[in-house]
């Protein structure tokens, strides 16, 4: 019996996410992460401390690709901050925070 396939991030997608993660680690804002490959979605969770709930979840859900876009950034409370078909444009939700930290 074949194992059900898992959804995961591609190498370019992971590179894009880790570049953003590295920026916030260098700014001492984020300290840990977790990657989950599930049956229906892939999730990159960002933590301030390993013992806390994730600050943000970057989700890839191919089932939503035609309707809302496969990628989403979800805040700690479950609020969807941005959703779309292109990971790079979805990650732009963090641009204001990056500008604030660069000052």
What domain range includes position 22? 11-95
User: 96 falls in which pLDDT band (50, 70, 90)?
Assistant: confident
Using DSSP, state whether 64 is helix, strand or coil. helix
| Residue 65 resides in a domain | yes
| Residue 43 resides in a domain | yes
| Residue 60 resides in a domain | yes
Look at residue 1 in the predicted model and tell me its pLDDT. Answer: 57
| Residue 89 resides in a domain | yes
Look at residue 49 in the predicted model and tell me its pLDDT. Answer: 78
Q: Based on the structure, what is the number of domains in the chain?
A: 1
| Residue 100 resides in a domain | no
Buried b or exposed e, range 79-91, using 16+ CB within 10 angstroms: eeeebbeebeebb
First-to-final CA distance of the chain:
56
| Residue 24 resides in a domain | yes
Look at residue 103 in the predicted model and tell me its pLDDT. Answer: 66
Residue 100 to residue 56: CA distance in whole angstroms: 18
| Residue 38 resides in a domain | yes
User: 3 falls in which pLDDT band (50, 70, 90)?
Assistant: low
Residue 103 to residue 86: CA distance in whole angstroms: 28
Q: How many residues does the chain have?
A: 103
Q: What is the largest CA-CA distance in the chain?
A: 56
| Residue 16 resides in a domain | yes
Look at residue 100 in the predicted model and tell me its pLDDT. Answer: 80
| Tens of pLDDT, residues 22-72 | 999 999 999 999 999 999 999 999 998 767 789 999 999 998 888 888 999
């Amino acid at each position: 019996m074949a194992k059900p396939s898992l959804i995961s991030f591609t190498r370019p997608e992971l590179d894009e996410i880790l570049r953003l993660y590295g920026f916030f680690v260098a700014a001492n804002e984020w300290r840990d992460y977790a990657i989950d490959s599930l049956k229906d979605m892939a999730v990159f969770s960002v933590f301030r401390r390993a013992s806390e709930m994730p600050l943000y979840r970057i989700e890839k859900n191919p089932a939503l690709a035609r309707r809302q876009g496969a990628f989403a950034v979800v805040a700690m409370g479950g609020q969807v901050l941005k959703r779309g078909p292109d990971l790079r444009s979805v990650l732009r939700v963090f641009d204001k925070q990056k500008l604030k930290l660069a000052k």
